Amino acid sequence: MRRYDVTIGRASQAIRAGSWVHEKLLEMPAARTLEALPMATVTPAPQPPLEGYTFEGYRNPDGSVGTRNLLAITTTVQCVAGVVAHALQRIRDELLPQYPNVDGVVALEHSYGCGVAIDAPDAVIPIRTLRHISLNPNFGGEVMVVSLGCEKLQPERMLPPGTITLMPGAPQTPDLVRLQDDKHVGFQSMISSILEAAEQHLERLNRRRRETVPASELVVGVQCGGSDAFSGVTANPAVGFAADLLVRAGATIMFSENTEVRDAVEQLTSRAATPEVAEAIVRELGWYDRYLERGRVDRSANTTPGNKAGGLSNIVEKAMGSIVKSGRMPIAHVLAPGEKLRRDQRGLVFAATPASDFICGTLQLAAGMNLHVFTTGRGTPYGLAACPVVKVATRSDLARRWHDLMDLNAGQVADGAKSIEELGWELFHLLLDVASGRRTWAEQHRLHNSLVLFNPAPVT
Amino acid sequence: MRRYDVTIGRASQAIRAGSWVHEKLLEMPAARTLEALPMATVTPAPQPPLEGYTFEGYRNPDGSVGTRNLLAITTTVQCVAGVVAHALQRIRDELLPQYPNVDGVVALEHSYGCGVAIDAPDAVIPIRTLRHISLNPNFGGEVMVVSLGCEKLQPERMLPPGTITLMPGAPQTPDLVRLQDDKHVGFQSMISSILEAAEQHLERLNRRRRETVPASELVVGVQCGGSDAFSGVTANPAVGFAADLLVRAGATIMFSENTEVRDAVEQLTSRAATPEVAEAIVRELGWYDRYLERGRVDRSANTTPGNKAGGLSNIVEKAMGSIVKSGRMPIAHVLAPGEKLRRDQRGLVFAATPASDFICGTLQLAAGMNLHVFTTGRGTPYGLAACPVVKVATRSDLARRWHDLMDLNAGQVADGAKSIEELGWELFHLLLDVASGRRTWAEQHRLHNSLVLFNPAPVT
């Protein structure tokens, strides 16, 4: 049984032409071993650069560009979440109206920070994830931290001095409010400390204005969730086409989701720009194979009841449809989970993350994403507080029913109304608009999901 | 070096009398093996039952009793969290004022449900945790579920038919709102579906009144967090004394925190009511030892910088101070993580959970806790939306500074103002008051932390 020109499985019985090829009729092939892969063997035909495309963004002190002007409140530990949520409401009600150029305030709440084996070999992943999220370009280089005091993840471990480029005129260490400090007498004194710190950052953020910057400053994370059999023929190819345009415009585009690329590993390693990049792909996918093995599962644990009801037979078929989001350009860089892109790492990037929508999105935020593209066939109201999410429907029926949740209808390809190229260009222009301030549906309804950390190390 | 009459370590150099015994001066003993332990060898002197103590609670259809009258919205997956948060705000603003006997509405938001290896051997833990939380006695037996549609954790897997005792007059399957259902056209139709479902439950909940019930209907979870050297001599012994009173009154009291009892395993197995209970203790702590080993850490990963600054040298000393919260009664039952107590399981229960404050609290909610006691020396603003949390300070200095966050000051024991017995009785009476509706400080400020699941299985 072949789809996308690869074997997705052997028919375990005769299947009538035109009938449904579902999971139970297929024997899934074993995962390709990570030995003897083609390494950086394909040199895609060079494409002319795309010049002159720009958007209106917020230039940061480190040179990166925000698509939103947000105050983020970094937290070291879940213990402070209740107090921070209370302060957040006060900031929204009392302070934000005085700072009209600030788009919003976001609490970086999470479940890590204490009650975890913080010196375990894999603890580096959640720790650097939190560090790097607080430095996301949409937060303008302003960092304020709320800590409890006694937690394992001490502020200086989360943000070692020297890791941050702060705003000109800002203090050169992050603002720190520690609830257990002796100066705090009573709950309201904690709230006052947070509000006072926030106000200083809001004043600086409020002085910023959007300016015209080249499209090369976009750092776009792509992922899919709630996929169906249309994902790989409408939305994902259109995203892949737009990805190629973004790379030609000098921008950065990240794709992820280890278990959804694992069966296409040959395509990845052969498309690597250099043998070193190919080796990094093998290293990350090999690490992830072993992570799944320790938990006594494999890549087939990925698929969902909805995928299957939507016509995807197994993870091989899902992976082939997923990977087309990455377009056809050479893979220029690889990131391990929680790592942050350097400013000189442009082009197509494989950010090796779990496929879980929320973990993938959280790790792409840590990598430095300033714009997110999310394709869905079954439909999900996914959103992030820290970054605009452009949602692309794979089918016109979904786009019609979820008319105020889906930002683009790739079902038009299946309907014959538009070509993949046309839709890819439409998405490219939409991304520049959203980067410039046009609000997505999720932003209009203020829909956002939690940050979910990838913590392969034990809790205690 | 001995404390609490056990060896907490060997001095690695001479330590002057009166100087600080900190971690670096001690060689920690190896963990006691789980072989050849004393099994159910101690029969505590029988204590007379305490009769006549009551509180004002909400009697549920299954016989359990709530201390609060809350509407819970169960979710199968993180995908729906944004939509549910929006609906929650509408319910608070528009519906709750019409139902004055309902104390509040709680969204059971979590990071599980999809993007996880749901058939992995350990996935049973997060799945049953979510199932059992939705059945917590503070939710009155009313269950409404918001599902996306395509997620791995389908509603019927989360709540298999027959697992729920619903309110008289309520439909005998939980209300289900599925966002992907064809009937939903547009975002507002999803919100309307959730509000409509909520209203039916609110009507039934609003007809309930508190009634006088025996103290034996309390299910009290105890834990400590942000501990210091006073924890084991002021707050925890007072909690232990109150625990004994509760058991004598026929109530249920749960203690937890595997890594904080591991070094006291002999005390636990010897105090087990039967050899079977002792074997269950060994089974749970052995499973947890292996869980930590797989992540290449051991129990010593538990202690925090704050514990150490607060005078606790290592996990052995911390454990000895932690376990006194359990009092002196025989251990009657053992629960694996995520399991729910049966109605006939009364008395002192070891609920084997990680020590992480939020994971422990979440698992105790799943076990059926209707009241929570939390001791702290360093100070934490910990709270839960689903259950009142009574916070006990170990030191008068903390109680003075955090005067509107700490519900009881056990520092009075160290000050010589009260005996452990007096404070234990005070806590016992405070628990009956809070169970009857008196609001804790965390409730007054609406401080609550996230549910944090224990998921030893891989994400995908």
> How much of chain B, in percent, has pLDDT values that exceed 70?
98
In B364-442, DSSP assigns E strands to 371-376, 389-393, 408-409
For residue A106, give Cα distances in angstroms to A133, A357, A384, B407: 12, 19, 10, 30
Which residues of chain A are within 8 Å of residue B301 when distances are taken between CB atoms? 117-120, 458, 460
Average confidence score pLDDT of chain A = 94
Confidence of residue A165 (pLDDT cuts 50, 70, 90): low
CB atoms within 10 A of CB B229: 20
Mean pLDDT of B239-244: 98
Q: What average pLDDT score do residues B155-162 get? A: 91
Band of pLDDT at residue A167, cut at 50, 70 and 90: low
Tell me what pLDDT residue B168 has: 63
Considering CB atoms only, which of B116, B295, B358 is closest to A78? B358
Say how many CB pairs under 8 Å bridge A and B.
Answer: 255
Looking at residue A339, its pLDDT comes to: 98
Question: Which is more confident, A32 or A420?
Answer: A420
For residue A286 the two structure tokens come to: 């090999």
Give the tens place of pLDDT for each residue, B79-121: 999 999 999 999 999 999 999 999 999 999 999 999 999 999 9
Answer whether B82 sits within 8 Å of A382, measured CB to CB.
yes
- Verify whether the Cβ–Cβ distance B301 to A185 is below 8 Å: no
pLDDT over threshold 90, residue A60:
yes
Evaluate if residue B417 carries a pLDDT over 90: yes
End-to-end CA distance of chain B: 46
Question: Does A168 have pLDDT greater than 80?
Answer: no
Cβ separation A459–B454 shorter than 8 A: yes
pLDDT at position A70 over 70:
yes
A292 to chain B: which residues are within 8 Å by CB? Answer: 117, 458, 460
What's the Rg (C-alpha) of chain A? 22
Nearest to A442 by CA among A366, A369, A360, A379: A379
pLDDT tops 80 at residue A234:
yes
- The nearest CA of chain B is from the CA of A247 a distance in Å of 28
**B138 and B373 Cβ atoms separated by less than 8 Å:** no
* CA-to-CA dists, residue A385 to A71, A165, A355, A389, A430, angstroms: 11, 22, 20, 9, 19
- For A381, the token pair is 């109201």
User: DSSP 3-state helix, strand, coil percentages of chain B (rounded to 5)?
Assistant: 40, 15, 45
For the cut 90, the answer to whether the pLDDT of residue A164 exceeds it is no
Closest CB from A154, A294, A404 relative to B294:
A294
Which residues lie below 8 Å from residue A178, measured CB to CB, with a gap of 6+?
Answer: A146, A147, A148, A149, A155
Tell me the pLDDT band of A157, cut-offs 50, 70 and 90.
very high
pLDDT recorded at residue A358: 98
pLDDT at A209: 98
Contacts of A294 in chain B (CB under 8 A): 294, 458
Decide if pLDDT at B283 tops 90.
yes
Q: Confidence class of residue A10 from pLDDT cuts 50, 70 and 90?
A: confident
pLDDT (tens digit per residue) in A334-385? 999 999 999 999 999 999 999 999 999 999 999 999 999 999 999 999 999 9
User: Is A295–B458 a contact, with Cβ atoms under 8 angstroms apart?
Assistant: yes
B306, A83: Cβ pair inside 8 Å? no
Provide mean pLDDT across the span B20-35: 82
pTM metric for this prediction: 0.96
Between B83, B186, B450, which is nearest A404 by CB?
Answer: B186
**Residue B152: which of A304, A360, A460 has the nearest Cβ?**
A304
Mean pLDDT of A63-72: 98
Which of B47, B455, B457, B454 lies closest to B256 in space, CA to CA? B454
For position B170, what pLDDT does the model report? 62
Instruction: Give me the pLDDT at residue B14, please.
Output: 82
Report the pLDDT value the prediction gives residue A16, as an integer from 0 to 100.
82
By Cβ distance, the residue of A149, A185, A356 closest to B460 is: A356
Question: Do A379 and B121 lie within an 8 Å CB cutoff?
Answer: no
A2 falls in which pLDDT band (50, 70, 90)?
confident
- Residues from chain B that touch A82, judged by Cβ atoms under 8 A, are 381-383, 442, 445-449
Q: Which of B380, B404, B406 to mutate to test the interface with A (most CBs of A within 10 A)?
A: B380
pLDDT tens by residue, A266-297: 999 999 999 999 999 999 999 999 999 999 99
pLDDT of residue B12: 78
> How near does any CA of chain A get to the CA of B362, in Å?
12
Whole-number pLDDT of residue A172: 62
Does B355 sit within 8 Å of A115, measured CB to CB?
yes
